């Protein structure tokens, strides 16, 4: 039986079906919030938070927690709130705070995993968390449920607060002037951003999350110029790339996370070239 | 701000700590010299919605193979009694080298080859040719997936296997 002929067999497995559903919802969340991050020049906040999440997972492993997702979520949300309060863009102090947090969390996390690991294969654990090689296909039932609930909460938040987020993204001063609760909304967006980062780790790993957030949005911005069109396009591109990436990795036998990002990169390049040719003409 | 931090700490506390034996982690290589794969009592007690009678894992890509082996240890009831065919690396545990009868482990790797997952198997009948039993070589095994208890703990293995070089 050829690799392609095995696809219907693979799709019959419950863990593959769960992985595809979670993957699609995570892709949607990343594209929705990627818009805000890219437009606010905050792309690397996601990177920093993913490193914090890695450190938090190491702490969970050290404490032998039943479910490491809870502590990871709590610590990542706490750091996101602190970063949002400190104001992490547009000044040198904020930039260096991000750098310190990012590499510090990564280093401490790796150290803890080496010192306190109860696993026989630390390198494998680290590799799996950082690059998401098969994590999305080995989710426990509770992981799936938590990921689904959190993804739906994120999407609901974005749908409900769409106009407020739009205003705050493009003109924060005007939003403040008309009486919008800008700071609470920004804090909520920071929390939601941390949630998106944590649920994305199972899909692409801690090191590749930024690509999942940025590539679809930047590709969509090459095609469209209105906020709504970019949002819809980036969602379609993100979901399509995740689906294609996952299916290719399952059929061919490549790491899931990096395959998804490779597909994202190829799609971005193709769109960039098409856009360039279109503009030249 | 203080209230938020206290609330977050309370949530941490509710995450709880595991007491006894924990389920194997997704990417830990549970392959040690005296080891077969342990499964939790919860996994053993969980009834599967469907039962698999036979599964050929040699047809799968490395990504799916690794994930399926992990999931077999999560839902062992689904595969209990199933005929399993598996390709992987050979580890020799406790064996009569003249007959080949004894306990082994077959490990599979994911696509990055940094995550390994082993599953114990036994050869119960003397082999005609024991020269194929080379540590680290790739083999194909076919046997019956079973859950068994030892020392009050539950393990899974593939029992009464036939073995071929891959």
ipTM of the complex as predicted: 0.82
Question: Measured between beta carbons, which residues in chain A are less than 8 angstroms from residue B28?
Answer: 119-121, 124-125
Q: What is the pLDDT of residue A37?
A: 86
Candidate from A119, A137, A254 with C-beta closest to B28: A119
Q: What is the pLDDT of residue A91?
A: 54
CB proximity list for B160: less than 8 A, separation 6 or greater: B122, B123, B124, B125, B143, B144
Q: What is the pLDDT of residue A85?
A: 73
Residue A106 has pLDDT above 90, yes or no: no
> Does residue A1 fall inside a structural domain?
no
Question: How sure is the predictor about B36, in pLDDT bands with cuts at 50, 70 and 90?
Answer: low
- In terms of residue numbers, what domain contains A247? 7-280
Question: Measured between beta carbons, which residues in chain A are less than 8 angstroms from residue B78?
Answer: none
Asked if residues B37 and B118 have their Cβ atoms less than 8 Å apart, the reply is: yes
> Does residue A222 fall inside a structural domain?
yes
Asked if residues B91 and B124 have their Cβ atoms less than 8 Å apart, the reply is: no
> Does residue A2 fall inside a structural domain?
no
Query: Helix H segments across chain A?
Result: 7-11, 14-39, 43-63, 68-86, 92-116, 122-131, 141-160, 162-170, 172-177, 182-204, 209-223, 227-248, 256-280
> Does residue A18 fall inside a structural domain?
yes
Q: What is the pLDDT of residues B40-90, one digit of tens each?
A: 777 777 666 678 899 999 989 989 998 998 888 888 988 999 999 999 999
The CATH fold assigned to B24-165 is OB fold (Dihydrolipoamide Acetyltransferase, E2P) (2.40.50)
Q: What is the pLDDT of residue B70?
A: 86
Check CB contact under 8 Å for A134 and B27.
yes
Q: What is the pLDDT of residue B28?
A: 39
Q: Is A117 exposed, middle or buried (0-12, 13-18, 19+ CB in 10 A)?
A: middle
Chain A touched by B13 (CB under 8 Å): no
Terminal Cα distance for chain B, rounded: 61
Check CB contact under 8 Å for A121 and B115.
yes
Q: How many domains does chain A have?
A: 1
Candidate from B12, B29, B71 with C-beta closest to A138: B71
Check CB contact under 8 Å for B61 and A121.
no
Angle between helices A227-248 and A209-223 (to 10 degrees): 130
CA distance B44 to chain A (A): 15
> Does residue A29 fall inside a structural domain?
yes
Mutate which of A61, A120, A260 to disrupt the B interface (most B C-beta within 10 Å)? Answer: A120
How far is C-alpha A244 from the chain's CA centre?
17
**Strand, helix or coil for residue A254:** coil
Which stretch, A95-99, A133-137, B22-26, B147-151, has highest mean pLDDT?
Answer: B147-151
CA distance A238 to chain B (A): 22
Question: How sure is the predictor about B120, in pLDDT bands with cuts at 50, 70 and 90?
Answer: very high
Asked if residues A42 and A97 have their Cβ atoms less than 8 Å apart, the reply is: no
Every domain of chain B and the residues it spans: 24-165
Candidate from A140, A252, A255 with C-beta closest to B112: A255
Question: How sure is the predictor about A234, in pLDDT bands with cuts at 50, 70 and 90?
Answer: very high
Candidate from B31, B71, B114 with C-beta closest to A15: B71
Residue A132 sits in a domain of what CATH number? 1.10.3470.10
Chain A touched by B17 (CB under 8 Å): yes
CA distance A224 to chain B (A): 36
Average pLDDT over residues A104-109: 87
Residue B10 has pLDDT above 90, yes or no: no
Residue B30 has pLDDT above 60, yes or no: no
Check CB contact under 8 Å for A120 and B31.
yes
CA distances from residue A185 to A45, A124, A180, A193 in whole angstroms, order as listed: 17, 39, 9, 12
CA distance A61 to chain B (A): 10
Question: Measured between beta carbons, which residues in chain B are less than 8 angstroms from residue A250?
Answer: 61, 63-64
Candidate from B11, B27, B62 with C-beta closest to A124: B27
Check CB contact under 8 Å for B17 and A13.
no
Residue A141 has pLDDT above 60, yes or no: yes
CB proximity list for A226: less than 8 A, separation 6 or greater: none
CA distance A140 to chain B (A): 8
Check CB contact under 8 Å for B63 and A255.
yes
Hey, how many other C-beta atoms are within 10 angstroms of the C-beta on A21?
Answer: 14
Candidate from A119, A127, A255 with C-beta closest to B25: A119
Question: Measured between beta carbons, which residues in chain B are less than 8 angstroms from residue A86?
Answer: none
């Amino acid at each position: 039986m050829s690799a392609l002929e095995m696809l219907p067999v693979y799709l019959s497995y419950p863990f593959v079906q769960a992985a595809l559903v979670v993957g699609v919802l995570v892709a949607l969340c990343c594209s929705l919030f990627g818009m805000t991050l890219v437009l606010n020049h905050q792309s690397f906040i996601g990177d920093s938070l993913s490193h914090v999440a890695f450190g938090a997972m190491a702490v969970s492993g050290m404490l032998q927690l039943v479910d490491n997702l809870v502590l990871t979520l709590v610590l990542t949300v706490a750091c996101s709130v602190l970063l949002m309060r400190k104001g992490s863009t547009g000044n040198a102090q904020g930039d260096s705070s991000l750098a310190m947090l990012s590499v510090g969390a990564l280093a401490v996390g790796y150290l803890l995993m080496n010192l306190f690991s109860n696993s026989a294969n630390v390198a494998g654990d680290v590799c799996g968390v950082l690059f998401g090689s098969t994590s999305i296909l080995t989710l426990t039932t509770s992981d799936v449920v938590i990921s689904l609930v959190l993804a739906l909460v994120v999407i609901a938040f974005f749908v409900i607060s769409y106009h407020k987020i739009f205003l705050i993204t493009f003109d924060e001063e005007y939003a403040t002037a008309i009486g919008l609760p800008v700071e609470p909304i920004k804090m909520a967006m920071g929390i939601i951003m941390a949630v998106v980062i944590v649920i994305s780790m199972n899909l692409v790993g801690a090191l590749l999350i930024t690509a999942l957030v940025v590539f679809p949005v930047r590709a969509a911005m090459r095609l469209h110029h209105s906020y709504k069109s970019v949002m819809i396009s980036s969602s379609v591109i993100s979901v399509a790339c995740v689906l294609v990436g996952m299916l290719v990795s399952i059929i061919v036998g490549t790491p899931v996370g990096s395959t998804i990002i490779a597909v994202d990169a190829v799609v971005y390049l193709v769109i960039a070239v098409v856009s360039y040719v279109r503009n030249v003409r | 701000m203080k209230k938020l931090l206290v609330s977050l700490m309370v949530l941490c506390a509710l995450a709880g700590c595991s007491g006894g034996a924990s389920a194997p982690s997704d990417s830990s290589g549970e392959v040690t010299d005296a080891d077969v794969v342990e499964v939790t009592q919860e996994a053993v007690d969980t009834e599967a919605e469907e039962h698999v009678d036979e599964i050929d894992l040699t047809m799968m890509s490395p990504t799916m193979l690794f994930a399926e082996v992990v999931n077999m240890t999560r839902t062992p009831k689904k595969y209990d009694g199933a005929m399993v065919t598996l390709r992987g690396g050979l580890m020799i545990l406790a064996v009569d080298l003249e007959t080949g009868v004894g306990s082994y482990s077959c490990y599979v790797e994911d696509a990055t080859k940094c995550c390994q997952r082993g599953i114990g198997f036994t050869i119960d009948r003397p082999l005609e040719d024991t020269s194929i039993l080379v540590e680290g070589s790739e083999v194909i095994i076919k046997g019956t997936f079973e859950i068994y208890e030892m020392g009050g703990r539950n393990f899974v293995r593939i029992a009464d296997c036939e073995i071929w070089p891959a």
